[in-house]
Amino acid sequence: MSENIIIVEDEVKLAQFLEMELSSEGYDVSVAHDGMTGLILARESTPDLAILDWMLPGLSGVELCRRLRATGSKIPIILLTAKDEVTSRVEGLDAGADDYVIKPFSIEELLARIRAHLRRRTEEDNRHLLQFQDLSLNRQTRQVFRGERAIELTVKEFDLLEYLMSNPRQVFTRDQILEKVWGYDFIGDSNVIEVYIRYVRIKLEENNEKRLIHTVRGVGYVLREE
């Protein structure tokens, strides 16, 4: 899937040029020409990277960057600026920008910086990703997929699956699962693990997918192939 990049630039010709160049590189590109429209675009399109001009009508690129970070957005942000003073660069970085490119710039340099930031983001995402067969779990976003199918789990269901996926093919006793997932001081129904294993299995096997969580009779549970 192509990465989605938004460009917020009020110079129409420059915005068109950047859109053409990035599209030719295989990126999905969306463009806005003022800060407020750019903010709405960024919130609605969940881009993989944003390129913001410093001087924008309505809402500056720095303020737009600051607002995106305030909402928890962690996408790489590159500021385009004609300002080369140290104080300006510090202001942009303090607002949450990851990088800045000074106008006029080489498109080859901008493309190289885009590739570098997207590569780092992919590497960061992969550190949070657990994968077993067609089952994937993202610790950071707390999303779970079976193939292309999204699976909605409760907090404890997610924690249980995460524990099993962190140690595939390793058999865990009920006491080990209880301590790691519910806590050593848990006081509750003694069959809580069996109940939650059943809940998770139902969701993972909703479309008759093969079973991945297996019972080891007299011992506990394991995530493994059939």
Give per-residue pLDDT as tens, 103-131. Answer: 999 999 999 999 999 988 877 776 788 99
Phi then psi dihedrals of residue 120, to 5 deg: -65, -40
Q: Is the pLDDT of residue 33 over 70?
A: yes
Q: Is the pLDDT of residue 56 over 60?
A: yes
Sequence-ordered list of residues with C-beta below 8 angstroms from that of 168, at least 6 positions apart, any chain: 132, 223, 224
In the chain, the percentage of residues whose pLDDT exceeds 70 is: 95
Residues 2, 79: Cα–Cα separation, whole Å: 22
Cβ atoms of 48 and 121 within 8 Å: the answer is yes
For 94-133, letters b (16+ CB in 10 Å) and e give ebbbbbbbeeeeeeeebeebbeebbeebeeeeeeeebebe
Cβ atoms of 176 and 220 within 8 Å: the answer is yes
Residues 137, 165: Cα–Cα separation, whole Å: 8
Of the listed ranges 7-11, 21-25, 119-123, 156-160, the least confidently predicted one is 119-123
Instruction: Indicate the pLDDT class of residue 49, thresholds 50, 70 and 90.
Output: very high
- Residue 151 CA, distance from chain mean position: 16
Q: What predicted TM-score, i.e. pTM, was given to this entire model?
A: 0.62
Strand 149-151 relative to strand 172-173: parallel, antiparallel, unpaired? unpaired
Per-residue pLDDT tens for 177-209?
988 898 866 666 668 899 999 999 999 999 999
Q: Is the pLDDT of residue 65 over 90?
A: yes
Residues 31, 167: Cα–Cα separation, whole Å: 44
